[in-house]
Every structure is written in structure tokens, then in C-alpha cells.
């Protein structure tokens, strides 16, 4: 046996009463009998008992009995206020708190309960005023708790600068306050207060250079300012102090990626994987690094591991397709893009990618259907129209290409690329004079975008007619 029940009463002292006896005395009190001997702790025990039983009527009677027998008990009044708050009887709860505050004016639990009630009734400004007004009364530890509560109030009001300021005030009272240090990192980034936060973290580190959270926060602030070399140094110091600080590995890996230090990023992110449960975002980041190193097979391996953890993430399958596209393996790319599009049918980028594969595989009609779908999904996007017109041009549907260019210009405006494409289509139709006029118009409007012709057809820019026009334009310039 784990417990000797015979000894239970000794553990509670000679005055301990079994619950049965407490309930009997409570019932006698309800019937109006006098000389009932229940002390304050026993009343609170009965309140706990009735609350756990869901007996609201007797909870109410126990509070009435307690406040009658012990009118100067701030503990019972505070318990009563908490119970009334749970019943959403906020007016009665505030009255109980007022009574409790007369007995114990600086009970911080009473202060926080009052603030909770004001918050629940959408009186956040009043709650903040009360917290600020009471701040000087309390010692540093309680001051910090009050300021943390204020930061929550400002968050509710979406006054994010004051959320940051409240957390900063906590650290001014207590530079090593862990919760404030953890939270201020996020808010410094949200409010673009990284420069101010850096000074704050450096001050904390002057007092305690072994504060790992401060080093981590410093790295985040530098990273937010795109000072990636400094962020790498801060994260590295954090990890030297605590090699199991997982978020530091994650952010350090990202900083190395931003610096295009892909080998270092892979090393750091793989270390992160070894510390705990694999995450799809970490595997994706490693895959991205291998992709940048043009090690496409290795990249795919990591992308597939990520997809196993998150099989509904369409972007992972799209990225796998992109690696195959870079290897000109159109059939495998098509399969990956198809999975991505199946998971996200309204993504125009996936439609275009899959259509491009089909064009390479000479499945032109199927490709044109997808190009049209991309235009339907993103009619205001220039690139979708250009892809459709290119598909029609390759299929030699020149009249339809002109019709689609007219529609594109009516929706997106007369973009220079549309004019270049129109000149090429007209040339293919044998309308050389019109083609030259539109080419001259495009060159006058946007000469640097002449490369749009290469995207339509690589050889067209070398067509004698176009070559002459472009040469004459350059001479005039």
C-alpha cells in the first residue's frame, strides 16, 4: 500500500475535521443553529468542495456564511470575487473587490482580478489607468508583473508600440527578466524597434554576458536590420553558451542563407534536426540550400522528406517540380506540378508551370487550356497573358493571339511587352509593315524591354526585318 489511511488525521493536526463533519456543521448553520464552530480555512475548504461538485447554490451559501462569520477576511472576499467573475456577475465581483481592498489595500491578486473584469467588459483603457496608478505602490517583482499585464492590455488595443514600451520598462526594472526578454524580441520586430532593442540587449549583456536569450534577441534584431554578419556572431555566441538553443540554429541557418553561405547553412540546420523532432520548414530550408548549390537530386531528397511531414503543402511539390525543370526533365516536372495543382487548384503559377512542361512535351492543346485557366485566375497579371500569347504563337494561332493581346491590353493596359509580342505575331502573319510600326513604338516606349522578344522566340530578334529596325533605332539614340 502507498498510503496508511490511519495516519491521515495526524497529517492535518488534531483539529482536522473529516469532510462529513464539516458538511454536517454546514447543514446545521443553514438551518439557523448557533454555536457552529467553523474556522476560516474550513469555510474555504467547503467552498472548494462545493465548487468541485458544481454545487452553485451551496457555494453561494458558503460565501455568505464566510463573509458573515469573517467580515474582515480579504481572502474569502477575493475568492468570492473570483467566483462571481466566473459567473460573469461583474458588478457584484467589483463590489466584493472593493470590500477586500478596504481590508487589504495592496493585494496584487485583487488588482489583477479587477483588471481582468475591466478587460472582459472592454474597458481596457480604464484597466491600464488602474495598473499605471498602482505601479509605484509595489516592489520590483510585482512592478514587472503589472507591466506585463499592461503589455497584454495594449495588445488587446492593438497599440503595439506601447506593448514594446511596457516590456522595455520591465527590463529597466529587472534586466534579466526572462519572460519580458522572450516577448520583447517579437514586438521589437513588429514595431521596427530593432535599433532601440539592440541598445537594450547590449545593456543587459553588459550586466550578464552569459544571458543566452539576450544574445539570441540581439541576433534577431540584427537580422531584422539585414545586418546578417552581426546576427551570425550573436547567434553563434548564443549557441556557444547553450548548444541546445534550437531557435538560434534555425535563425542562424537563415542568416547564412541570406549571406549565400549555403554550406554553413546546411551544417547549422542539420544540427538543428539532430536536436529534436524534424520539421518540414527546416527540411525545406536545407533542400533550398542544395538547390542553390545545383545539387538537384539531393535537394529533392530533402523536399520529399518535408512533404512526408506535410503532405498537403502544395508549395513543396512545386519546388520539386522546379528542380526537375532546371534539369529539363519535363515529364517528372509535370508530375510534381500536377500534384501541386491538385492540392491548390486556384494557383495560376502552377497552371503556368504545368503548361510550360506540356509545351516542351508538344502537348500544345492541353497547355493552352492551362494557360487560359491561369489567365482566368489572374486576369490582372501581365505574365499570365504573355504566357498565353506565347503558347498561341507557338501553336501558330496568330489571329487568336492578336485577339488575346487586345483583351490583355483592355484589362492590364498597353504594356511594352504586349506591343513587342504584337509586332512578332504580325511579322509571323506576314504583315511586315504593321510589325515594324509596332516594333518601333515598343522601342520608343521601352527600349530595354526588347528582350521580351527572346522570351517569345529566341530567333525572332535576329529576323532581318527586326534586326534592321533595332539597328536603326540604336543609331538614332
Buried b or exposed e, range 398-428, using 16+ CB within 10 angstroms: bebbbebbeebeeebeebbbbbbbbbbbbbb
Q: Is there a domain that residue 227 lies in? A: yes
Write the pLDDT tens digit of every residue in 136-165: 988 878 999 999 999 999 999 999 999 999
Model confidence at 461, pLDDT cuts 50, 70, 90, reads confident
Task: Supply the pLDDT for residue 74.
Answer: 75
State how far the Cα of 107 lies from the Cα of 78, in Å rounded to an integer.
9
Query: Model-level pTM greater than 0.85?
Result: no
> Quick one: which of 241, 242, 215 has its CA closest to 230?
215
Query: Buried b / exposed e across 108-135, counting CB within 10 Å, b at 16+?
Result: bebbebbbbbbbeeebbeebbebbeebe
Q: Which residue, among 87, 79, 83, has the nearest Cα to 44 in the 3D structure?
A: 79
Q: Let me know if residue 209 belongs to a domain.
A: yes
Please give the Cα distance from 468 to 446 (Å, whole number): 18
pLDDT value of position 80: 79
Q: Is residue 233 part of a domain?
A: yes
pLDDT band at 78 (very low <50, low <70, confident <90, very high): confident
Residue 133 has pLDDT above 70, yes or no: yes
- What is the average pLDDT across 20-33? 64
For the chain, the domain total comes to 2
Taking the C-alpha atoms of residue 456 and residue 460, their distance in angstroms, rounded to an integer, is 8
Encode pLDDT of 283-326 as tens digits.
999 999 999 999 999 999 999 999 999 999 999 999 999 999 99
Q: What percent of the chain has pLDDT over 90?
A: 66
Mean pLDDT, residues 328-333 taken together: 97
**Are the CB atoms for 228 and 255 separated by under 8 Å?**
yes
pLDDT greater than 50 at residue 230: yes
pLDDT at 103: 85
CATH number of the structural domain spanning residue 263: 1.25.40.10
Residue holding cell 458558503? 62
Q: Compute the average pLDDT of residues 362-368.
A: 95
- 8 pLDDT higher than 60: no
Nearest residue to 22 via CA among 72, 62, 81: 62
Which comes out higher in pLDDT, residue 49 or 241? 241
The last residue of one of the domains, among 252, 276, 300, is 276
The residue written with cell numbers 464539516 in the block is 22
Q: And the C-alpha cell for 121?
A: 467588459
Whether the per-residue pLDDT at 442 is higher than 50: the answer is: yes
Beta-carbon contacts of 156 under 8 Å, excluding residues fewer than 6 positions away, are 119, 124
The confidence score (pLDDT) of residue 72 equals 75
On whether residue 141 sits in a domain, the answer given is no
Helices marked H in 416-463 — which ranges? 416-428, 432-445, 452-456
- Which has more confidence, 89 or 5? 89
- Final residue of a domain: which of 254, 276, 298? 276
pLDDT grade for 9, boundaries at 50, 70 and 90: very low
Q: Which residue has the higher pLDDT, 69 or 264?
A: 264
Q: What integer pLDDT is reported at residue 22 of this predicted model?
A: 64
- Max CA separation in the chain (angstroms): 116
102, part of any domain: no
Higher confidence at residue 109 or residue 67?
109
pLDDT confidence tier of residue 68, bands split at 50, 70 and 90: low
- 13 found inside a domain: no
pLDDT value of position 474: 82
Confidence class for position 6, pLDDT limits 50, 70, 90: very low
On whether residue 210 sits in a domain, the answer given is yes
In the structure grid, which three cell numbers stand for residue 186, read together? 517579437
Considering only 8-12, 167-171, 327-331, which range has the smallest mean pLDDT? 8-12
Identify the pLDDT of residue 400.
97
Residue 125 has pLDDT above 70, yes or no: yes
Residue 50 has what pLDDT?
66
Stretch 373-401: mean pLDDT: 96
Task: Give the DSSP letter string of 245-291.
Answer: -HHHHHHHHHHHHHTT-HHHHHHHHHHHHHHSS--HHHHHHHHHHHH
Whether 429 maps to a domain, the answer reads yes
Domain boundary among 276, 310, 342: 276
Least Cα distance to 321 among 367, 282, 285, 352 occurs for 352
Is it the case that residue 51 has pLDDT exceeding 80? no
pLDDT, residue 39, reads 63
Tell me which residue range forms the domain holding 472.
Answer: 424-477
Average pLDDT rounded to a whole number, residues 192-207: 96
* pLDDT for res 313: 97
Report the pLDDT value the prediction gives residue 21, as an integer from 0 to 100. 63
CA 153-155-161 angle, to 5 degrees, is 110
Highest mean pLDDT among 4-13, 63-72, 83-92, 112-121: 112-121
Asked if 237 and 215 count as a contact pair (C-beta separation under 8 A), the reply is: yes
Work out the pLDDT band at 222, boundaries 50, 70, 90: very high
Tell me the average pLDDT of the chain: 88
Amino acid at each position: 500500500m502507498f498510503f496508511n489511511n490511519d495516519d491521515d488525521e495526524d497529517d492535518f493536526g488534531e483539529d482536522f475535521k473529516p469532510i462529513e463533519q464539516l458538511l454536517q456543521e454546514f447543514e446545521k448553520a443553514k438551518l439557523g443553529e448557533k454555536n457552529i464552530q467553523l474556522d476560516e480555512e474550513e469555510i474555504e475548504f467547503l467552498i472548494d468542495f462545493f465548487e468541485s461538485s458544481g454545487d452553485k447554490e451551496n457555494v453561494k451559501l458558503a460565501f455568505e456564511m464566510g463573509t458573515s462569520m469573517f467580515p474582515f477576511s480579504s481572502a474569502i472576499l477575493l475568492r468570492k470575487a473570483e467566483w462571481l467573475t466566473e459567473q460573469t456577475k461583474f458588478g457584484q465581483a467589483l463590489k466584493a473587490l472593493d470590500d477586500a481592498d478596504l481590508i487589504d489595500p495592496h493585494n496584487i491578486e485583487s488588482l489583477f482580478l479587477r483588471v481582468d473584469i475591466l478587460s472582459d467588459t472592454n474597458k481596457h483603457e480604464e484597466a491600464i489607468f488602474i495598473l499605471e496608478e498602482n505601479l509605484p505602490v509595489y516592489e520590483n517583482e510585482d512592478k514587472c508583473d503589472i507591466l506585463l499585464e499592461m503589455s497584454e492590455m495594449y495588445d488587446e488595443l492593438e497599440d503595439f508600440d506601447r506593448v514594446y514600451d511596457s516590456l522595455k520598462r520591465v527590463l529597466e526594472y529587472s534586466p534579466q527578466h526572462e519572460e519580458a526578454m522572450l516577448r520583447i524580441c517579437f514586438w521589437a520586430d513588429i514595431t521596427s524597434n530593432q535599433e532601440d532593442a539592440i541598445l537594450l540587449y547590449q545593456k543587459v549583456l553588459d550586466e550578464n554576458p552569459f544571458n543566452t536569450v539576450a544574445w539570441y534577441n540581439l541576433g534577431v534584431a540584427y537580422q531584422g536590420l539585414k545586418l546578417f554578419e552581426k546576427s551570425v556572431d550573436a547567434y553563434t555566441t548564443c549557441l556557444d553558451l547553450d548548444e541546445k538553443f534550437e531557435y538560434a540554429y534555425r535563425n542562424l541557418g537563415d542568416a547564412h542563407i541570406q549571406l549565400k553561405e549555403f554550406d554553413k547553412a546546411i551544417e547549422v540546420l542539420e544540427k538543428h534536426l539532430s536536436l529534436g523532432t524534424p520539421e518540414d520548414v527546416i527540411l525545406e530550408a536545407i533542400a533550398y540550400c542544395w538547390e542553390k548549390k545545383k545539387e538537384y537530386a539531393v535537394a529533392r531528397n530533402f523536399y520529399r522528406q518535408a512533404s512526408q511531414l506535410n503532405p498537403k503543402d502544395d508549395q513543396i511539390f512545386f519546388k520539386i517540380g522546379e528542380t526537375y525543370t532546371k534539369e529539363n526533365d519535363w515529364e517528372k516536372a509535370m508530375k510534381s506540378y500536377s500534384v501541386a495543382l491538385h492540392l491548390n487548384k486556384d494557383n495560376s503559377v502552377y497552371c503556368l508551370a504545368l503548361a510550360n512542361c506540356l509545351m516542351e512535351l508538344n502537348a500544345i492543346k492541353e497547355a493552352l487550356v492551362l494557360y487560359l485557366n491561369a489567365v482566368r485566375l489572374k486576369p490582372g497579371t501581365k505574365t499570365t497573358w504573355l504566357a498565353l500569347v506565347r503558347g498561341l504563337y507557338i501553336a501558330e494561332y496568330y489571329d487568336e493571339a492578336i485577339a488575346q493581346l487586345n483583351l490583355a491590353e483592355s484589362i492590364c493596359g498597353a504594356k511594352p511587352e504586349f506591343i513587342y509580342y504584337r509586332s512578332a505575331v504580325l511579322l509571323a502573319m506576314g504583315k511586315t509593315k504593321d510589325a515594324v510600326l509596332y516594333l518601333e513604338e515598343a522601342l520608343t516606349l521601352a527600349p530595354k524591354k526588347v528582350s521580351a522578344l527572346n522570351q517569345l522566340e529566341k530567333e525572332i530578334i535576329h529576323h532581318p526585318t527586326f534586326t534592321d529596325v533595332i539597328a536603326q533605332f540604336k543609331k538614332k539614340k
